[in-house]
């Protein structure tokens, strides 16, 4: 069989894509670095750089993804899991990457494929954030509760909570955890994750950088932008009063708020479905290309 030809990006092209990527993510990374330099915090955006562990500098790195080479010289040549071909082109060494990170690739592929196979549920109304402060007078953020402690507790008690996401559920207060219809664990995550979940949508960014540098930079940026947009809704629909920070509340305790939340949730699920499929395809390409050819 003929050997597939690896496309090689010209220097001008990959430099332009690198610059476009850096400019795009600097919308978030530059203000974060400036706040950090001043010792300031942000109740919404810091989450993107604290809960998610990728440093801003790593986010700014553009990668071509598997199966694409860069005309040299390229700085990628000095980065882990890259190789330089005899003609000077720089590419991801897929075999080396999968040898080191194959378990992660297979886990991400399995989790995301399982998530994509389920219908999106949009009836949770963001109650996970409310359950994180239920009957707890020590709030998790240094901002006031919009309805006060008693009003917040009343909203939780008036609703049925159905949180499928373990990494949200594990922050429920001890009083709130038994109120959840499900009891997610890390082990059951692949069985419960569903594409309407806001946190599952945000986590597409986590899986994108967990696969780095194999994830193309544009896909990483798409996932990060989705996470940033979801985070804003997540906090606007939370019990916290963020109006002083410029965020109007989505009052999920009202019919109008529930409708607005569910509509936004469906939109995020649609965006997430495309990105989730893109990440699955990255995993498939890695595992396929890492298999030695015979014949």
| 221-238 per-position pLDDT tens digit | 999 999 999 999 999 999
Cα–Cα distance for residue pair 153/135, rounded to 1 Å: 6
Query: What pLDDT, on the 0 to 100 scale, is given for residue 70?
Result: 98
Answer whether 181's CB lies under 8 Å from 175's CB.
no
What's the half-sphere exposure (Cβ side, CA atoms, 13 Å) at 98?
17
Query: What pLDDT, on the 0 to 100 scale, is given for residue 138?
Result: 78
Answer whether 285's CB lies under 8 Å from 67's CB.
yes
- Please, where are the H alpha helices in 160-254? 166-169, 189-192, 198-210, 217-236
Query: What pLDDT, on the 0 to 100 scale, is given for residue 4?
Result: 54
- Listed as ranges, residues in the chain with pLDDT below 50 are 1-3, 293-295
């Amino acid at each position: 069989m003929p050997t597939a030809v690896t496309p090689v990006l010209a220097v001008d092209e990959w430099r332009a894509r690198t610059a476009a990527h850096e400019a795009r993510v600097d919308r978030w990374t530059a203000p974060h670095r400036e706040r950090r330099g001043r010792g300031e915090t942000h109740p919404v955006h810091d989450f993107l750089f604290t809960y998610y562990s990728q440093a801003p500098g790593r986010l700014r790195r553009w990668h071509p993804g598997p199966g694409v080479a860069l005309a040299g010289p390229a700085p990628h040549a000095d980065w882990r899991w890259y190789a330089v071909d005899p003609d000077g082109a720089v590419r991801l060494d897929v075999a080396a990457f999968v040898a080191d990170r194959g378990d992660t690739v297979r886990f991400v592929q399995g989790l995301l494929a399982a998530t994509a196979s389920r219908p999106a549920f949009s009836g949770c109304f963001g109650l996970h954030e409310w359950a994180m402060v239920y009957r707890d007078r020590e709030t998790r953020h240094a901002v006031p509760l919009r309805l006060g402690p008693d009003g917040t507790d009343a909203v939780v008690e008036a609703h049925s909570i159905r949180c499928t996401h373990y990494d949200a559920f594990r922050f429920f207060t001890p009083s709130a955890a038994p109120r959840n219809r499900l009891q997610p664990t890390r082990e059951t995550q692949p069985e419960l994750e569903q594409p309407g979940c806001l946190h599952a949508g945000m986590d597409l960014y986590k899986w994108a950088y967990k696969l780095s540098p194999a994830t193309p930079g544009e896909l990483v940026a798409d996932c990060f932008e989705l996470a940033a947009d979801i985070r804003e809704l997540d906090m606007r629909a939370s019990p916290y009063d963020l109006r002083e920070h410029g965020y109007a509340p989505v009052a999920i305790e009202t019919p109008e708020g529930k409708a607005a939340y569910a509509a936004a949730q469906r939109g995020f699920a649609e965006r997430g479905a495309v990105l989730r499929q893109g990440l699955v395809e990255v995993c498939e390409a890695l595992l396929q290309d890492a298999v030695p050819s015979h014949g």
